Chains A and B, each alone.
Chain A
Amino acid sequence: EPEVTQTPSHQVTQMGQEVILRCVPISNHLYFYWYRQILGQKVEFLVSFYNNEISEKSEIFDDRFSVERPDGSNFTLKIRSTKLEDSAMYFCASMRGNFYEQYFGPGTRLTVT
């Protein structure tokens, strides 16, 4: 069964550095998302992406965040000038089309020290 994959599973970075989190969505899916979950808290929406542009973003998704689908298969989340409070599990999700459900990847645990 096709699944969403994410790399790396765990990323440790120093405050102020840039990180790129990578996702490979399910191949025939058209809509892509990033969510984050701070340890022990609820899952929060960051951004949705469709037709090579951002559809919606939350207030968490500030100017330090960006997304890209560089080659038709990967979907990346870049965080510049990382802060301690960026430490969280980041989930990528993809959806086939309207009226379908989102499938989530296994997550990347980001630790900012």
Chain B
Amino acid sequence: AQKVTQAQTEISVVEKEDVTLDCVYETRDTTYYLFWYKQPPSGELVFLIRRNSFDEQNEISGRYSWNFQKSTSSFNFTITASQVVDSAVYFCALSSDFTGANSKLTFGKGITLSVRP
């Protein structure tokens, strides 16, 4: 069985602070994908990143960075110099099947990030 745990439920920061969103996952599969999605107040789910289990390199995209550590089964997301527009719910998700027909996503409960001006 797959499981994604986002232990933080709500985080509030002041603009320009750095913030890290934690994600811990469980799977018995040796190959899998990890994802982060953003859900702004408007409600849609916006894809941010996909990482496969073979690639433990950290990734940086502008103010966003992701730290994947297989040893601790974690895939953490850091926002540097946060902005008010970053306020949203952030979901970590896991897919343990590389074949599209069964590649359902298992989501964590989400972290509500509030960035105050």
Q: Do A and B bind each other?
A: yes
Given contacts A44-B107, A98-B100, 11 further A-B contacts (CB under 8 A): A35-B105, A42-B109, A43-B93, A50-B101, A56-B102, A100-B100, A102-B47, A102-B105, A104-B37, A106-B43, A107-B43
Can you name the residue of chain B whose Cβ is closest to the Cβ of A107? B43
Q: Determine whether A79 belongs to the interface, using a CB cutoff of 8 Å to chain B.
A: no
Task: Encode contact with B along A41-68: 1 for CB under 8 Å, 0 otherwise.
Answer: 1111100101100011010000000000
Partner of A103, one of B47, B52, B106: B47
CB distance from A1 to the nearest CB of B (A): 12
Whether A45 and B105, one on each chain, are in contact in the complex, defined by CB atoms closer than 8 angstroms, is yes
Can you name the residue of chain B whose Cβ is closest to the Cβ of A50? B101
Q: How far is the CA of A51 from the CA of B52 in the complex (A)?
A: 25
List residues 54-103 of chain A with CB under 8 A from any CB of chain B: 55-56, 58, 89, 91, 93, 95, 97-103
Given A55-B101, A97-B100, A101-B35, check contact A45 B44 (CB 8 Å): no
Q: Determine whether B91 belongs to the interface, using a CB cutoff of 8 Å to chain A.
A: yes
Q: How far is the CA of A103 from the CA of B104 in the complex (A)?
A: 12
B contact residues, total (Cβ < 8 Å): 25
Can you name the residue of chain B whose Cβ is closest to the Cβ of A105? B44
Whether B43 and A98, one on each chain, are in contact in the complex, defined by CB atoms closer than 8 angstroms, is no
Give 28 pairs: A residue, B residue, CB < 8 Å, sorted on A: A31-B101, A31-B103, A33-B104, A35-B105, A42-B107, A43-B45, A43-B93, A44-B107, A45-B105, A48-B101, A50-B100, A50-B101, A51-B101, A56-B102, A56-B104, A93-B45, A97-B100, A98-B98, A99-B52, A101-B47, A102-B103, A102-B105, A104-B37, A104-B44, A104-B45, A106-B43, A106-B44, A107-B43
Q: Determine whether B99 belongs to the interface, using a CB cutoff of 8 Å to chain A.
A: yes
Residues in A with CB closer than 8 Å to B98 are: 98-99
Q: How far is the CA of A56 from the CA of B47 in the complex (A)?
A: 22
Whether A43 and B47, one on each chain, are in contact in the complex, defined by CB atoms closer than 8 angstroms, is no
Q: How far is the CA of A98 from the CA of B102 in the complex (A)?
A: 10
Residues in B with CB closer than 8 Å to A56 are: 101-102, 104
Residues in A with CB closer than 8 Å to B102 are: 48, 55-56
